[in-house]
Amino acid sequence: MINFQLFAVTSGGLQELPVPTEATTFEELYPGLSLGVYSAMRTFEHNRFLDLDAHLARTYQSIRLLGWDYAFDEATFRQGLHDACTRSPFPEARVRYDVLAAPATPLGTDSRVLIALQPFSPPTSEMYSNGIKLGFAPTLHREDPLIKRADFPLKRRSHPIGGVVYENLLTDEAGHILEGTSSNFYAVKDGVFRTAGDGVLEGITRKIILGLLPGLGIPCQLEAVHMDEGGELDEAAISSASRALLPVVQIGEQVIGTGKPGPICQRILAAYNEYVGENVKLATEP
């Protein structure tokens, strides 16, 4: 059974790279490499993507903020991404692409752009209908939330989750909830949808969700909730490219609302799914 595929993007097309037999995560595909920036997403309809332009814009921003003198060849990358996913044996795939700080010579290529695929397994239907529980990673922080650094997932692994905890949350020094370790975080209180306005990664799914709120008539406040406010919230949720909007029913020992997914987040999820159906497209489409 194939668990991963790994490719280098070169001027002559895709170069398939060896996958370590013991690899169980994306991070284990890159031993000895100079990590740089990355983005992760999922496919739809086997080889289509949602808002790839936004992922690439964030990559350009990360490269610029790091001060790299590097010209990312977007046209070649888009064709390589399309080819990798079209040929993939996976019905749907989780996709990660990396722009490395230096060529991936330990893997036998001089390319700095890698594409990795693994089979996509969405959250279960029970997670959407019953909600999930979150914990905290109080000592974990992003160095610069505007840069999607590839070393952050490695740091995340030092704060493992277990038992019924699905994801850990990051907080600022005052205890305000910023985001999840691999997601953005939201809360609903008195009908207002709240999420931290700064100090967080600019999630692509977050951008889409915030853009849907005006059309749904749901007021939004870009203000983080405090970790002690959980018992006062009506609803909560996290989002990411692989999860859409996933309801949260417990944070630490605090039960959220009725302990069941609430109506506002359910409306947003339905609108998001409709948006996906209307906006996915091939990587090579303008």
What are the chain's domains? 5-121 (3.30.470.10), 125-278 (3.20.10.10)
CA–CA gap between residue 192 and residue 235 (Å, rounded)? 10
At 241-261, the pLDDT tens digits run 999 999 999 999 999 999 999
Q: Is the pLDDT of residue 157 over 90?
A: no
pLDDT in the model for residue 138: 85
Q: Sort strands 132-136 and 244-251 into parallel, antiparallel or unpaired.
A: parallel
CA-wise closest residue to 102 among 70, 129, 79:
70
Q: Residue 286: which pLDDT band, with cuts at 50, 70 and 90?
A: confident
pLDDT in the model for residue 178: 97
CA-wise closest residue to 171 among 141, 206, 135, 193:
141
Q: Is the pLDDT of residue 155 over 90?
A: no
At 108-128, the pLDDT tens digits run 999 999 999 999 999 999 999
Tell me which amino acid residue 223 is. Answer: E
The DSSP result for 176-228, as a single string, is BEEEETTEEEEEEETTEEE--SSSS---HHHHHHHHHHHHHT--EE--PPBGG
- Taking the model in full, what pTM does it have? 0.94
CA–CA gap between residue 109 and residue 272 (Å, rounded)? 39
Q: How far is CA 107 from CA 13, 26, 34, 103, in A?
A: 16, 15, 12, 9
At 174-224, the pLDDT tens digits run 999 999 999 999 999 999 999 999 999 989 999 999 999 999 999 999 999
What share of the chain in percent tops pLDDT 90? 89
pLDDT in the model for residue 1: 62
At 142-151, the pLDDT tens digits run 989 999 999 9
CA–CA gap between residue 71 and residue 50 (Å, rounded)? 24
pLDDT in the model for residue 160: 65
